[in-house]
Structure 1
């Protein structure tokens, strides 16, 4: 489902360059996960690419806040959420959750992304009860 900001009809993302950075991360992750056989070495390569993707997201969040669909486009926003969700750094996840909450309130991010990340952060930090 496409979410359009009614204040910006049919204009595309505000920062295509930032969206492209996220999409490059996605493409690289897909390339690595499909190109290397499932071994301990390949797991290390995949982990390194994921670490690089986390650093890209960290930089984007520091400069732009949450990269929601209005800022970067639907596909890039979805991958930003994917990085935050699977990131092993609870501090980054907590910051992403804070920024994502504001973006949802502003209508620039998917509410389900906030809900699922909040559940994940709660699970990982022990604050959510089963």
Structure 2
């Protein structure tokens, strides 16, 4: 395991989450944009050097944090699509979690204007309440979610809406 790389993923993920908390509390969104851009540029270099940073390379926590940075690389949709392919291979090899693939799949599809597959992505209605974005084949949603290791859609919806 590359402990130095894992530590850097951890530092960047903590910075990512702190900036998101500040933005939600009414802070300056420019900080979040700057951090996402820096993390995306750094992750691109890591991927060029190592491929997808999976569990063997950076441990379970590091692989989780690598996914988080990729998930937040919205300003680089081409990179997210590339990472999605790498992540798919990593899941097949046991180097990444299927739930990470589900979330990034939905993120990439939503960015492309397509319906999501796993129902992980939400937007806000005019009153600021979360609502799920369109899903393909909604009658099979929970089966797809279960196969990816995700909770049923109704439970997730309650959690997203803060009604747990």
Following superposition, the deviation at residue 33 of structure 1 comes to 5.0
Deviations 1:42-74, CA, capped at 9 Å, x for gaps: 211222112111111111111111111221112
Larger-gyration structure (1/2): 2
The RMSD of aligned alpha carbons is 2.1
* Structure 1 segment 1-130 matched on structure 2, within 5 A: 14-32=1-19, 38-39=26-27, 42-88=28-74, 89-128=76-115, 130=135
Contact 1:22-1:56 at 8 Å conserved across structures: no
Unaligned runs of 5+ in 1: 1-13
Q: Which has the higher helix share?
A: 1
Which structure ranks higher in relative contact order (CA pairs < 8 Å, sequence separation ≥ 6)? 1
Following superposition, the deviation at residue 128 of structure 1 comes to 3.3
Give the match for residue 149 of structure 2: none
Alignment length (residue pairs):
115
Q: TM-score w.r.t. structure 1 length?
A: 0.76
Following superposition, the deviation at residue 126 of structure 1 comes to 2.5
